[in-house]
Structure 1
Amino acid sequence: MISRRMGLTTAAATLLTGVAAPRATATAPPSLRTTGTHEDTGSRARLQRDVDTVLATGATGVLAEAQTADGRTTARAGLTDRSDPRRPVPWDAYYRIGSDTKTFTAVLVLQLAGEGRLALTDTVERWLPGAVRGDGNDGRRITVANLLRQTSGLNDYLAVSPDAADAFTPAGYRRSRFRSTAPEDQLKAALAHPPLWLPNAERPERERRWGYSNTNYVVAGLIVERVTGHSWAQEIHDRIIEPLGLRHTLTPGTSPYVPAPTATAYTWFPDAGGPTDTTLAAGGGADGSLISTTRDHGVFLRALMSGRLLPPAQLAAMKKTVAADDWITAPGVRYGLGIAWRPVAGSRDGIWFHGGTHLGTVSESGVTPDGARAATSATFGLRMGDPAQDAQDAAGRRLIDRALTDR
C-alpha cells in the first residue's frame, strides 16, 4: 500500500527515479453530470476541460466533482478498463483515498480531545506505555499533536520496511496483495531505526521540524483504540460515516477488494514494460485504508470545515500549521493536524487539503476554509518513477484549485 501524498514512499522515491513508462492510450467520450442548481455553464465546462487535461497526462480514467450546498457537478473522462473502449469511468465510482484517510483519523482524535478523554499534549507514553522505545526512539518525547502534525521524527514504516523495495515490482505486488500487516508490526518496522529527530523535550508542542511519516497515524490509530476500547474502524463508522450519511465510505479491513462500480487501478512499475492491474490490495488502517467516492469525500470535507464534526477549539487546533517543505511541488504548503493548507491564486484565504495515493489510484481534494465549497477527484493510473506522473499530479491540483476558486 502507498498512503503518502505524492504516491511514493521515501524508499520508493529513491528506488524509482528516472524510469519512463508507457502512456495510456485509451480514451472515452467526455461526460458531465449536474445535480441541483450547482454552478453555471462556464464552471461546468471548465471542470470538464480540467478532467480532460488530467487524462491527457497519461491517466486511464478520471472522475472529479465540485460540490456546494446547492448541488454538485461531476465530470469524467477515460475508461473503466483499458481493454474495453465502450465502458467509461463509472459515475460514483468507489476508490481508495489513501492518505486522505489521515484527515478522518485526525478528526477522531480531536473529537476525543474535545470530550476531555485525551489531550493533544499527552505523550505517546501516556497511552501506549513502552510502545515507542528502542534505537533512540522515545514515546515520552512525542505528543499526540506531534503525531497528527507530522513533527514526531518517527521513521515512515513504509520507507524503512525490509520489504519496501520488493513491494514496488509486479511480482512483489502479487505476492503481497492479499497480505495484511498489523499496526504493531508496522510500528516495529519503524522503530528498528533511529528517529529522524526527537521533539523538543521542554515544549514538544512547539516542534517545527517536519517529516511525513505514515507511522504517526498508525500510532494515532492505536491511541484511539486504547482510549475508546473500540477498533479504529468502529470509531470511524460511529463518529463520522454514520452521522454524515456517508453510505459509500467504508473501512475494508483485511479485504483486498473495492466495491463496484469502480475502475481498474493500473500501476506502471519501473522496467515492467507495461501496466499492472493493482486493483486488489489488502492492508492499511488509520494511515490510509478508507474507500470512498467523490460525493462522500466532498460531504466530509464540507462538514469538517463548516464545524459539524469538531467544536471550535478543536477545529482551530487542527488549523495550527507548520511549514511542510518538499512535500509536494506547490509553494507555501503548511501542515496542520491531519490536514494541510496552501495558497491559491484567486483566493484570499487559500484552501485546505490533503490528498492520497494508493497503487493505481490518486485522490486529490480540497475545501474552502468556510466549508462552502469542496472539490474531489479520483485519477486511475500511477506511473512510478516517471516524470510524467508529476505532470499528472500538478494537473490534478490545478483542477481542485480552479474548482474551488471558480477561475
Structure 2
Amino acid sequence: MPPLRPLRRLRPFLVVPVSLALLWSASTGSRAAPPAPAPDTVLPLLVSRGGAPAAALLAREGTATRFARAGDGMSRADHFRAGSVTKTFLATVVLQLADEKRLSLSAPVERYLPGLVRGAGNDGRALTLRALLTHTSGLYDFTADTGGTVPVSPLQAVRLALTHPPADRGRYSYSNTNYVLLGLVVEQVTGRSFATEAERRILAPLRLTGTSFPGSRTTLPFPHGRAYAADGSDVTDLDPRVAGAAGELVTTLADLDRFYAALLGGELLPPRRLREMLDTRTAHGSYGMGLFPLKLPCGITVWGHNGRITGSYVRTAATVDGRRVLTFRVNTDTVADPGLEPRLLTAEFCPRTS
C-alpha cells in the first residue's frame, strides 16, 4: 500500500486504561528495565482511538529489544500477514539479480516478459524494470478491481490491470501490479519463483525462521492470534493470492526488525545497490525501490514500508543505517485515527526532552 504522509498535529491525548505489557531484553545480559518510553504510551491509543482489537510493537536498537502490546490476543512470537511489506523483500531480490548482471533495471519489461504487457494503451516495450520498482510505470492497480479480496493468479492480476488505460508514465502512482510483474520477472530470469529466491537469498542467510511466502496456504503458522476485518468479522484464514508477490508475506515482529536492520546495515546489498534502493528521484521523492522515506517533525528521516491486507496492518521504520528499527502491527486492516502512526514513529525516533 502507498505510504502515509504526516498529518496535522493532534491535541494532547488522554491516558486511558488499556492493558499494556512491556519487555526489555538484550543479548549482553540482564539489566534493570528503563522507564517506559513515549512510544509505549502511544501504542494503547491504536486500540482506544484507532479502533484496533489489539496492537503490538517491537523496537530494536543494537542488541537491545523492547516489546509492548495493548489489548488482548497478541504475543511477541505471533505470525501475521504483512501485506505490502513483501515489496521490500522482492525489491531486494531484484537488486541482487541486477548486481549479478542477470537483469538490467534499465531494460524494458518486454525483454523478460515478451508480449505480456500490451493492451488499453499499455506497452511493456516502453516500461523499464526501474519504473516497476519505483511505481512510475502508470500501470493500473489490479486490487482496485478485486478489492484485495479475490484470489487471482499473477497472470490474471496482470491481465485485469491491462484492461485499464495507464496513468501518466513517469509520475509516481502506487500499483500492486508493478510488483506482481516483478515476481514474474524473477521467475523468468532464475527459473524459480520469487518466493524460492527470497527464501534462498534472504530468509536462510538471516535465519528468518518465522517468515514465509505461503502461496495459496490459507492458514497461519502457530503461534498466531486472530485477525479481523473492519466490520469485525474473523478473517484469520485468508487466501494470500489476493496479493501474491505484491503482498503475501507472513512474518513476525522480530523477523521484520532483523530484516530491515540487515538491509539498511548493508548485509544484503552492496553499497551501490543500496544507494540505488534509497534513491527517490525517479518517484519525485515519494518512493525508492521497495522502501519509502518519512521525514519526522524533528528532522530525522526513517525508511521502511507499511502493509495492509485484510485483517492486518503493519509498519516498519528504521534509521538509514539500520541501527534503530521499529515494527508495529494491529490485527485489523484499518486504523481509525491515521494520525497515530506518525505520532508513534515520532515518539520512537525523535529525541525526547525532559
The TM-score normalised by the length of structure 1 is 0.78
Say whether 1:364 aligns with 2:315: yes
1:182 to 150, 153, 156: 153
Say whether 1:261 aligns with 2:220: no
Alpha-carbon distance, 1:223 to partner: 0.4
The corresponding residue for 1:399 is: 344
Residues 262-295 of structure 1 deviation map (CA, whole Å, 9 limit, x = unaligned): 22111124xxxxx111111111321000011111
The corresponding residue for 2:21 is: 31
Alpha-carbon distance, 1:401 to partner: 3.2
Say whether 1:46 aligns with 2:38: yes
The corresponding residue for 1:351 is: 302
Alpha-carbon distance, 1:98 to partner: 0.4
Q: Which amino acid aligns with 1:110?
A: L
The answer to whether the 8 Å contact 1:362/1:382 transfers is yes
The corresponding residue for 1:319 is: 278
The answer to whether the 8 Å contact 1:47/1:75 transfers is no
Q: Take 1:120 and 1:297, find their aligned partners in 2: how far apart are those partners?
A: 26
CA RMSD of aligned residues (A): 2.1
Q: Which segments of structure 1 move beyond 4 Å, counting only runs of 4 or more?
A: 37-40, 322-325
Alpha-carbon distance, 1:322 to partner: 4.2
Q: Take 1:125 and 1:324, find their aligned partners in 2: how far apart are those partners?
A: 21
Say whether 1:250 aligns with 2:212: yes
The answer to whether the 8 Å contact 2:18/2:44 transfers is no
The answer to whether the 8 Å contact 1:366/1:401 transfers is no
Residues 114-165 of structure 1 deviation map (CA, whole Å, 9 limit, x = unaligned): 1111111011001100010011100011100100000000000011x3x44x
Q: Take 1:39 and 1:102, find their aligned partners in 2: how far apart are those partners?
A: 38
Return 119-128 or 256-265, whichever deviates more. 256-265
- Give 1:239-318 correspondences, 5 Å limit: 239-269=201-231, 275-282=232-239, 283=241, 284-318=243-277
The answer to whether the 8 Å contact 1:156/1:213 transfers is yes
- Give 1:154-193 correspondences, 5 Å limit: 154-159=139-144, 161=145, 163-164=146-147, 180-193=151-164
Identity value in percent: 36
Q: Take 1:300 and 1:65, find their aligned partners in 2: how far apart are those partners?
A: 13
Return 64-73 or 104-113, whichever deviates more. 64-73
Paired residues, number? 334
The corresponding residue for 1:340 is: 292
The corresponding residue for 2:52 is: 59
The corresponding residue for 1:19 is: none
- Give 1:129-208 correspondences, 5 Å limit: 129-159=114-144, 161=145, 163-164=146-147, 180-197=151-168, 199=169, 207=170
Alpha-carbon distance, 1:347 to partner: 4.1
SS of the residue corresponding to residue 226 of structure 1 reads: helix
Alpha-carbon distance, 1:40 to partner: 6.7
The corresponding residue for 2:183 is: 221
Alpha-carbon distance, 1:110 to partner: 0.3
| Runs (5+) with no aligned partner, structure 2 | 5-16
Q: Take 2:220 and 2:47, find their aligned partners in 1: how far apart are those partners?
A: 22
SS of the residue corresponding to residue 201 of structure 2 reads: helix
Q: Which amino acid aligns with 2:59?
A: A
Alpha-carbon distance, 1:6 to partner: 6.9
| Runs (5+) with no aligned partner, structure 1 | 8-26, 81-88, 168-172, 200-206, 270-274, 326-332, 384-388
Residues 334-385 of structure 1 deviation map (CA, whole Å, 9 limit, x = unaligned): 211111012112344x1112101011210011010111110001111234xx
Q: Take 2:269 and 2:282, find their aligned partners in 1: how far apart are those partners?
A: 24
2:331 to 380, 383, 401: 380
The TM-score normalised by the length of structure 2 is 0.89
Q: Take 1:33 and 1:141, find their aligned partners in 2: how far apart are those partners?
A: 52
The corresponding residue for 2:13 is: none
CA 1:402–1:28 in 2, change beyond 3 Å: closer, same or farther? Answer: closer
The answer to whether the 8 Å contact 1:79/1:263 transfers is no
Q: Take 1:322 and 1:147, find their aligned partners in 2: how far apart are those partners?
A: 14
CA 1:312–1:117 in 2, change beyond 3 Å: closer, same or farther? Answer: same
Q: Which amino acid aligns with 2:37?
A: A
